Amino acid sequence: MKKRFVLAALAALFIGPAAQACPDYNLYGDTYELNGADLVGGQYVDLRAGGDQSITGCGIRFGSDRGRGYVTRAPDFSIKLHGMGRYKIRFTVRSACDSILLINTGAANWYYDDDDAGNLDATILLTRPSNGWMDIWVGTHDGSVCDARLYLETFRR
């Protein structure tokens, strides 16, 4: 009995609490394969923004914003990008709530935005996007769920 208690205590020490679940780029969302030229002029997809996973405390390092909000564990979209060398790409959310946007690129960089698109919506512009897998989460600032539209558009550099 004592041995089991010690093992359980060690497991809790090294594994930590299981309650904190974070966005997982090892999972896949709706999967697409696109070329940079496919997105010239823009495309969009409708979805439900939000989720039950708080990104606070996940250890994700962002370049700018503080990184607050709620997403699903798996990305909403997993996109395999090709031919991005001549393009920059913009992701913009239009929603019925306070949206956030979280992106993990093929170069393993995290990007986050809360309100830069105006009207409590998110946008991210990647000026030198890498080829490869890009995972995208469309969440909400407060954990609510709402209808949203994600716009993707490439531009020549």
CATH number at residue 69: 2.60.120.380
Which pLDDT tens digit goes with each residue over 4-21?
333 333 333 333 444 458
Answer whether residue 14 is part of any domain.
Answer: no
8, with CB counted inside 10 A (0-12, 13-18, 19+), is exposed
Answer whether residue 62 is part of any domain.
Answer: yes
pTM given for the model: 0.84
Low-confidence ranges of the chain (pLDDT < 70): 1-20, 63-66
Pairing relationship of beta strands 77-82 and 30-35 according to DSSP bridges: parallel
pLDDT at 34: 94
Q: How many domains are contained in the chain?
A: 1
Answer whether residue 50 is part of any domain.
Answer: yes
Answer whether residue 1 is part of any domain.
Answer: no
Count of beta carbons in the 10 Å neighbourhood of residue 85: 11
Tell me the residue range of the domain where 102 lies.
20-156
pLDDT at 64: 57
Answer for the pair 50, 142: CB distance below 8 angstroms, yes or no: no
Answer whether residue 6 is part of any domain.
Answer: no
Answer whether residue 152 is part of any domain.
Answer: yes
pLDDT at 57: 83
Answer whether residue 13 is part of any domain.
Answer: no
